[in-house]
Chain A
Amino acid sequence: MTVATIASHQVRAGRTTELGLLVLALALGVGAYALVGLGTADAVPTNWLGYAIGLTVLSLALHGVLRWRAPYADPVILPLAVGLNGIGLAMIYRIDLAEETGFSVRQLTWTALSMVLAAAVLVWLRDHRTLRRYTYVAMLAGLVLLVLPLLPFIGATINGARIWVRVGGVGLQPAEFGKIALAVFFAGYLVSNRDTLALAGPKLLGLQLPRARDLGPILLVWLVSLGVLVLERDLGTSLLFFGMFVAMLYLATERVSWVVIGLALFAGGAAAAASTFGHVAARFDVWLHALDDEVYARSPGGSGQLVQGLWGMASGGLFGTGWGEGRPDLVPYAESDFIVASLGEELGLTGLMAVLACYLVLVQRGLRTAIGVRDGFGKLLAGGLSFVIAVQCFVVVGGVTRLIPLTGLTTPFLAYGGSSLVANWVVVALLLRISDEARRPAPAVRTVTPGGGTPTGGPGTGTPAHGTPVVTGTPVGPGVGRAGGDGDDDQPTEVVRGVPR
């Protein structure tokens, strides 16, 4: 038997690492912008320098805000968000050049606005636990934002989905902001009620079933999601909300039964919707029989867009055509819904895999933050927000690559759309805030030992410095250092379990 010894890991603040990664990410965004010009017109775009300076200043400003207000925030999140946003901007600009539209200028404005808003969130929100006070306000806000598009005058139907609100000439998708509000509500609600949801109830076939009255909230959320699906005809958003709730329920209770119940409700809802509503049935038809002539030629609701996206990615091959060398503009909505197919065509499988890996790392950092943070509310919020990013990627990329039926969700950071961009930058700001809390060294070590204490330097007494060798001789007692660290009511004493042997 080999006995393993646990030594606490020394967290590095990582701001310098972040700066290095940020330079790489900026090089990607700005380089792509230049390459688009070179590929289409053999010249660097005239506004390239201004664009480069603008993006750099904004990113460095955000980096500065992190140094100032969240010095222990995760060093990987910001560069990945900047990189993805830059790649998205370049692709939208590229589609603009081909179709002579003006999306990229508006997307640039939205990018600037989003990054300023993210900085504002980081400056004003000093502790994510403040949000827990607004649990039910967040619920109300989330529901109002969901219902807003249904109201007369300000609601608008675009492309068959009534998910838009027009205010002063600017179109917004309130559901994008609603997802943040509802994530706050779910986290606050579940952290208070998880024990009844997890422990009470009968056991059936090894599944711990919840009590009937505890089913209330999940049924309510299910009904709201169905309402969104029926009244706003938006498959993606309803899927996103329901998925987020089930995932957070599972995170809070560790009960597989909730996942089973959630999947059963989802399957039932989807089957009912597919047999009742024409537009949902058409989506299934397009997914299953995309290459049939009859389905391809049908208009509207044919599979033409999907199949052309597939051909686009096929012509991209392994290494892509290169920025500005392909024809991604042949696919309708190449700058928003099908931006993944556009990237697949111009960057190839290699590039698309790298983009997906960026998302993977981003989501992993979010989930790691959820594991690391010490309060239950933060855990659920970080877990829920990361899951939202993950499920959006899965639904969009799965839809475009014909793994699942196509639904109308936006690709985070890449796709054209102001609401989505702003909402995702706020999500990133929240994740950064929580990760700062998660990675910050535990405040003070309290070792009360009657009869003369053992001098124990628990995890994270001194400020870890770069290049300091990790002293494995640090006495380790999980719980020795952490016990009674923070005074929040639901912060369990951290203990190390299950040492690998």
Chain B
Amino acid sequence: MSELTVALLRLGYLALLWLLVLAAIGVLRRDLYGTRIVQRGLPGRGRREAPRGAAATAGAAGGTGAAPEPRAEARPERRSGRSSGPSRLVVTEGPLRGTTMPLSTSSVLVGRSPSCTLVLDDDYSSSRHARIFPQDGGWWVEDLGSTNGTFVDEQRVVEPVPLPTGTPVRVGQSIIELQR
């Protein structure tokens, strides 16, 4: 064999070795993290109901000058028929900060019990802490006899009170709010 062939085989083998390593890293890169973090607030990203492909198109559209705002406004209307109703529940403080849940027409039970709709990992909340439910075209919050209480605007909730969009509700150490 010529010197060149020997050198090529030697370096080719090393390249093959690294190819295996890099391919393995490429595979594990995909599930290095157990969850996918989607940043909200970027134009065209994180529209909750949009599949990834649609979100990408929205991003592309935003990039070419079409304002993403009208799309966002149009969305709840098309879906639920309400013009200004909130579309989701967001945890803004506490151990589960960042968690969102889409709202449907049924009520949402909040607490530590696994049977709740939103299960809080929060030592200061009761197992069935509060209920957020739609009534008369709006959303209401009701305390379910929790130990530490549910607070809207620093006021303890004793009877069901209306919950406007964007008003923080304190449940234990967590703060949740309705968002459009």
The interface residues of chain B lying within 8 Å CB-to-CB of A76 are: 24, 27-28
Residues 118 to 146 of chain B near chain A (Cβ within 8 Å): 118-119, 121, 131, 133
The interface residues of chain A lying within 8 Å CB-to-CB of B27 are: 14, 17, 21, 75-76
Q: Is the CB of B9 within 8 A of A38?
A: yes
Which single residue of chain B is at the shortest CB-CB distance from A500?
B37
Q: Which of B24, B41, B47, B114 has the most CB of A within 10 A?
A: B24
- Tell me the complex Cα distance, A35–B9, Å: 8
From residue B40, how far is it (CB to closest CB) to chain A in Å?
Answer: 5
From residue B11, how far is it (CB to closest CB) to chain A in Å?
Answer: 7
- Tell me the complex Cα distance, A209–B87, Å: 50
Q: Is the CB of B28 within 8 A of A351?
A: no
The interface residues of chain A lying within 8 Å CB-to-CB of B97 are: 3, 499, 501
- Tell me the complex Cα distance, A471–B21, Å: 30
Is B96's beta carbon under 8 Å from chain A?
Answer: yes
A-B pairs with beta carbons under 8 Å apart, 27 shown:
A2-B41, A7-B37, A8-B36, A11-B31, A20-B23, A39-B6, A42-B1, A322-B6, A351-B17, A354-B17, A365-B28, A448-B115, A449-B107, A451-B131, A452-B107, A454-B101, A470-B36, A472-B36, A472-B46, A475-B101, A477-B117, A480-B117, A493-B114, A495-B95, A495-B96, A496-B34, A499-B99
What's the dominant secondary structure at chain B's contact region?
mixed
The interface residues of chain A lying within 8 Å CB-to-CB of B30 are: 12
Q: Is the CB of A453 within 8 A of B117?
A: yes
The interface residues of chain B lying within 8 Å CB-to-CB of A449 are: 106-107, 109, 115-117
A-B pairs with lowest CB-CB distance, top 4: A483-B114, A479-B119, A322-B10, A452-B106
Q: Is the CB of A480 within 8 A of B51?
A: no
The interface residues of chain B lying within 8 Å CB-to-CB of A365 are: 28
Is B74's beta carbon under 8 Å from chain A?
Answer: no
Q: Is the CB of A480 within 8 A of B119?
A: yes
- Tell me the complex Cα distance, A347–B7, Å: 12
Out of B10, B18, B23, which one reaches A21, CB within 8 Å? Answer: B23
Out of B14, B19, B36, B117, which one reaches A320, CB within 8 Å? Answer: B14
Which single residue of chain B is at the shortest CB-CB distance from A470?
B52
- Tell me the complex Cα distance, A387–B40, Å: 38
Residues 464 to 501 of chain A near chain B (Cβ within 8 Å): 469-473, 475-480, 483-484, 493, 495-501
What's the dominant secondary structure at chain A's contact region?
loop
* Residue positions of B touching A, CB distance < 8 A: 1, 6-7, 9-11, 13-14, 16-21, 23-25, 27-28, 30-41, 46-53, 55, 90, 92, 95-102, 104, 106-109, 114-119, 121, 131, 133
Instruction: Given the known inter-chain contacts A448-B115, A477-B101, A495-B121, please indicate yes or no for A364 contacting B51, CB distance below 8 A.
Output: no
The interface residues of chain B lying within 8 Å CB-to-CB of A479 are: 114, 119, 121
Q: Which of A42, A322, A473, A496 has the most CB of B within 10 A?
A: A473
Instruction: Given the known inter-chain contacts A24-B23, A348-B14, A368-B32, please indicate yes or no for A451 contacting B102, CB distance below 8 A.
Output: no
- Tell me the complex Cα distance, A357–B35, Å: 25
Q: Is the CB of A347 within 8 A of B14?
A: yes
- Tell me the complex Cα distance, A12–B107, Å: 34
Identify which of A26-34, A276-284, A289-297 touches chain B: A26-34
Q: Is the CB of B24 within 8 A of A80?
A: yes
From residue B142, how far is it (CB to closest CB) to chain A in Å?
Answer: 11
Which single residue of chain A is at the shortest CB-CB distance from B36?
A7
Is A216's beta carbon under 8 Å from chain B?
Answer: no
Is A447's beta carbon under 8 Å from chain B?
Answer: yes
- Tell me the complex Cα distance, A456–B115, Å: 13
From residue A473, how far is it (CB to closest CB) to chain B in Å?
Answer: 4
Is A231's beta carbon under 8 Å from chain B?
Answer: no
Which single residue of chain A is at the shortest CB-CB distance from B33?
A9
Q: Which of A83, A470, A472, A480 has the most CB of B within 10 A?
A: A472
Is A95's beta carbon under 8 Å from chain B?
Answer: no
Q: Is the CB of A4 within 8 A of B98?
A: yes
How many A residues are at the interface, by size bracket? 35 or more
The interface residues of chain B lying within 8 Å CB-to-CB of A17 are: 27
From residue A286, how far is it (CB to closest CB) to chain B in Å?
Answer: 31
Which single residue of chain B is at the shortest CB-CB distance from A83?
B20
Q: Is the CB of B106 within 8 A of A451?
A: yes
Q: Is the CB of A3 within 8 A of B102?
A: no
Q: Is the CB of B106 within 8 A of A471?
A: no
- Tell me the complex Cα distance, A11–B102, Å: 23
Q: Is the CB of B21 within 8 A of A475?
A: no
From residue B119, how far is it (CB to closest CB) to chain A in Å?
Answer: 3
Q: Is the CB of B32 within 8 A of A472?
A: no
From residue B121, how far is it (CB to closest CB) to chain A in Å?
Answer: 4
Q: Is the CB of B100 within 8 A of A476?
A: yes
The interface residues of chain A lying within 8 Å CB-to-CB of B106 are: 449, 451-454
Is A187's beta carbon under 8 Å from chain B?
Answer: no
- Tell me the complex Cα distance, A8–B100, Å: 12
Is A394's beta carbon under 8 Å from chain B?
Answer: no
Q: Is the CB of A469 within 8 A of B53?
A: yes
Q: Is the CB of A7 within 8 A of B35?
A: yes
From residue A63, how far is it (CB to closest CB) to chain B in Å?
Answer: 15
Extra A-B contacts (12), CB below 8 Å, given A347-B17, A361-B25: A9-B34, A9-B36, A31-B13, A322-B13, A323-B13, A358-B21, A371-B34, A453-B117, A473-B47, A476-B99, A495-B119, A497-B95
Q: Is the CB of A9 within 8 A of B52?
A: no
- Tell me the complex Cα distance, A21–B21, Å: 9
The interface residues of chain A lying within 8 Å CB-to-CB of B21 are: 354, 357-358, 361
The interface residues of chain A lying within 8 Å CB-to-CB of B13 are: 28, 31-32, 35, 322-323, 347, 351
* Cβ proximity bits A334-377 to B, threshold 8 Å, 1 near / 0 not: 00000000000001101100110110010011001001100000
Is A214's beta carbon under 8 Å from chain B?
Answer: no
From residue A353, how far is it (CB to closest CB) to chain B in Å?
Answer: 9
Q: Is the CB of B55 within 8 A of A472?
A: yes
Is A450's beta carbon under 8 Å from chain B?
Answer: yes
- Tell me the complex Cα distance, A319–B17, Å: 12
Q: Is the CB of B14 within 8 A of A5?
A: no
- Tell me the complex Cα distance, A79–B102, Å: 42
Which single residue of chain A is at the shortest CB-CB distance from B121?
A495
Q: Is the CB of A496 within 8 A of B96?
A: yes
- Tell me the complex Cα distance, A347–B9, Å: 12
Out of B52, B98, B114, which one reaches A499, CB within 8 Å? Answer: B98
